[in-house]
């Protein structure tokens, strides 16, 4: 099995962080939190990313998530 491309791995992690932050922020706003509270939720969502799962299936993490 070939070693993963470092740039692809970095892009996968970045995409997962962005998705987690957007989702965390959106959910916090829906729950009625202020912007500061929503930002804290966005950061917390990035901290809670399961990196083991992300690295096991990087193709799924690289997919953009659709927002309605």
Domain map of the chain by residue range? 10-60
Q: Helix or strand or coil: residue 7? A: helix
Least confident window among 5-9, 33-37, 56-60: 56-60
Kindly report, residue by residue over 20-52, the tens digit of the pLDDT.
Answer: 999 999 999 999 999 999 999 999 999 999 988
Which two tokens mark 53?
Answer: 């799962």
Q: What is the pLDDT of residue 35?
A: 94
CA separation for the pair 1, 10 (Å, rounded):
19
Instruction: Read off the pTM.
Output: 0.74
């Amino acid at each position: 099995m070939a070693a993963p491309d470092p740039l692809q791995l970095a892009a996968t992690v970045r995409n997962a962080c962005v998705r987690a932050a957007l989702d965390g922020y959106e959910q916090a706003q829906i729950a009625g939190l202020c912007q500061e509270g929503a930002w804290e939720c966005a950061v917390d969502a990035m901290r809670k990313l399961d990196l083991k799962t992300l690295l096991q299936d990087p193709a799924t993490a690289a997919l953009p998530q659709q927002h309605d």
